[in-house]
Amino acid sequence: MARSWALSLLCVAAVAGVALAQTMYPSQCDPTTVLTPGDLSILGPEQFLVAGGVNNSYHMFNTLNITEPVRPLLLLNGMGATQYEWPPSFLAWLSQGSRPVVTLDHAGIGGSTFLAATAPSIPLLTENTAAFMAALSAAHPDTLLPEYDVLGYSMGAMVAQSLAASFPSSVHAVVSVAGSFGGPLAPQPEGGLAATLARLVDAQLGSSQADLTLFFPLGALDPAYCSLWNAVASLQYAVGALQMPGAGYALGTVVKNPLVLLKTRAALEAQAAAVLAYYEGFCAAGWPAQLEALCPRSTAASQALGKGPVPIAFHGGSADKVIPAVTQTYSALQSPDYLLVEVPEAGHGIIYNFDAEDVANILDYLDAAQPLSGGRPDSGAASSVTGAAGPTLAAAAAAHIATHLL
């Protein structure tokens, strides 16, 4: 849903022109690896496409040597995160595949803007994204098929699951990373979702009180924290705080306007409100109290669990404090031919735990995915979970199902 406070602080400082010392990285990290992000010139320049009431900012890469239309892979980032905050190594590994890859800013964040004043919601962002997908394929008929694979992280995973439910003809397969199906039955973090979202907003704005363990269970000592700092270094190159032409999101080629990296409290709180509504219902503020019973209380994604034709792989960290790990197990148990991949000891920053093998497995999954016939597994679901979920977590998910659905 967000990025660590470190990323926010360094982006703010860099855009303001403050020199950033290379010695700020965590002591346990290899400086050669941390401070030298790969060359992301593969992303090419920022592009824009008006569709779905949004001026969409995106990048499309890995299109060389494509001689016929193929399925593209669309990446949707988390709450408050721009398309320039994917780990550089993650994008580099994706570029080794055989499909075009598209990064996109959610409307209201980064370079994507609503054409009219609009409050975001998960259903609206889903519609915006579906319109963008259709328009992009129409603009590149020789390269892109109209059916996409979608990888979403955190809030982006909520949009990805909603796309699979509401626009199944446009989606071939989904990889949902640290996401949720939403609705009142979805597991919530300890302390409640509203309080957690407020902490995430503060973290995005660089609060000195931000809790790193929201993302990394071991805080600054977490191995995945080193991967975050590689992304930080990449953005430092992007805004010109460090000079190495071609490194990271290099200024002037990939990132034309470094101000898109900055976020306002208003924009972050608007996305937080969208996530909260995704869990609690979709009635706008001021809805008449006597009509509250008519508010939709479930989501398209929750209604489609176990019924839709789009295969979904659910990825989650066993120590996620934002989207509880039981969410992924519960989702997988409800879905036919599911794939559940749980990363032991990973938190909500699971995307920083991914390595080259993980990315290769994701691409293999998408290549092999087949449309589903729908219907919940009749038996054996808990014992069929793939990955490291283990009997305790599977039993907890089964209990959640028994309590709320059966």
Domain covering 5-282+294-404 in this structure, CATH number: 3.40.50.1820
Amino acid at 69: P
| Alpha-carbon separation of residue 100 from 39, 44, 132, 258, 365 (angstroms) | 18, 13, 15, 25, 16
- What is the distance between the alpha carbons of residues 105 and 121, in angstroms, rounded to a whole number? 15
What pTM was estimated for this model as a whole? Answer: 0.86
Q: Please determine, for residue 168, whether its predicted confidence score (pLDDT) is greater than 60.
A: yes
Q: Please determine, for residue 398, whether its predicted confidence score (pLDDT) is greater than 80.
A: no
What confidence category does residue 327 fall into, taking pLDDT thresholds of 50, 70 and 90? Answer: very high
Predicted confidence at residue 289, as pLDDT, reads 57
What confidence category does residue 394 fall into, taking pLDDT thresholds of 50, 70 and 90? Answer: very low
Other Cβ atoms closer than 10 A to 281: 17
User: For 119-140, how does the pLDDT look when each residue is reduced to its tens digit (9 = 90+)?
Assistant: 899 999 999 999 999 999 999 9
**What residue spans define the domains of the chain?**
5-282+294-404
Predicted confidence at residue 292, as pLDDT, reads 55
User: For 289-317, how does the pLDDT look when each residue is reduced to its tens digit (9 = 90+)?
Assistant: 555 566 666 788 888 877 888 999 999 99
